[in-house]
Structure 1
Amino acid sequence: MRLFLPVLLVTLALCCCETNAATCPAVATDIASFFLLPDSLFKLQLIKYQAPPEAKDATMQVKQCINEISAGDRYIITETLGKIVLQCGA
């Protein structure tokens, strides 16, 4: 639960800034994948960004921290982020 508040605040900052409230659907999909997909599938999704290995390793380290949150809580976080995206995009 310690990670819930910072993730929510960062998402609010990214999605609901005054200059651009519309969120790209791909960003919303990537955020949901980060929370819900298993590591093996998420690694396949990272390939499309062609990021350097250090960036991929850092992302997977953060994903390991996210994986420590219970599956139910991760689903709730993802559902909340979806509501934020819908409200901010309106």
Structure 2
Amino acid sequence: MRLLVCLLLLTLALCCYRANAVVCQAVGSEIAGFLLAGKPVFKFQLAKFKAPLEAVAAKMEVKKCVDLMAYEKRVLITKTLVISVSFMWPGQRHSVK
């Protein structure tokens, strides 16, 4: 299974390197909230999507597992998911909000 994931990531890196990796603000804040915010704050953040109660309950169940990870590792994952735009276009200045 791990080999399959590595091959998939390698294939995506080689075939889709020109893809735009800029994340919209709503998705970025939802990912960061999922990894870093407390349960009450994240539940409030989910309310703006008006998701069904079953979906919210499932997301909160997964959040319980994520909250067991060390905070430092969650910060590293967050930094990895929100890639700096300057990495994609060196020499140009862009601001990601």
Confirm or deny a common fold (TM above 0.5). yes
Shift of 1:22: 3.3
Matched, 1:78 2:56: no
Alpha-carbon distance between aligned partners in 2 of 1:72 and 1:30, rounded to the nearest angstrom:
18
Length, aligned pairs only: 77
Amino acid at match of 1:22: V
Alpha-carbon distance between aligned partners in 2 of 1:71 and 1:20, rounded to the nearest angstrom:
29
CA offsets per residue over residues 18-37 of structure 1, 9 Å max, x none? 66533212111110111000
Change (3 A) 1:34 1:19: same
Alpha-carbon distance between aligned partners in 2 of 1:23 and 1:52, rounded to the nearest angstrom:
24
Structure 1: 5+ residue stretches without partners: none
Q: Which of structure 1's runs of 4+ aligned residues deviate more than 4 A?
A: 16-20
Q: Which has the higher helix share?
A: 1
TM-score normalised to the size of structure 1?
Answer: 0.69
- 1:65 is paired with a residue of what secondary structure? helix
Alpha-carbon distance between aligned partners in 2 of 1:80 and 1:50, rounded to the nearest angstrom:
28
Matched, 1:60 2:40: no
Matched, 1:35 2:66: no
- 1:55 is paired with a residue of what secondary structure? helix
Aligned to 2:47: 47
Alpha-carbon distance between aligned partners in 1 of 2:66 and 2:60, rounded to the nearest angstrom:
10
Greater CA radius of gyration, 1 or 2? 2
Higher relative contact order (CA 8 A, sep 6+): 1
Task: Kindly indicate whether the alpha-carbon contact (under 8 Å) linking 1:36 and 1:74 is maintained by their aligned counterparts in 2.
Answer: yes
Give the % identical residues. 42
TM-score normalised to the size of structure 2?
Answer: 0.64
Structure 2: 5+ residue stretches without partners: 90-97
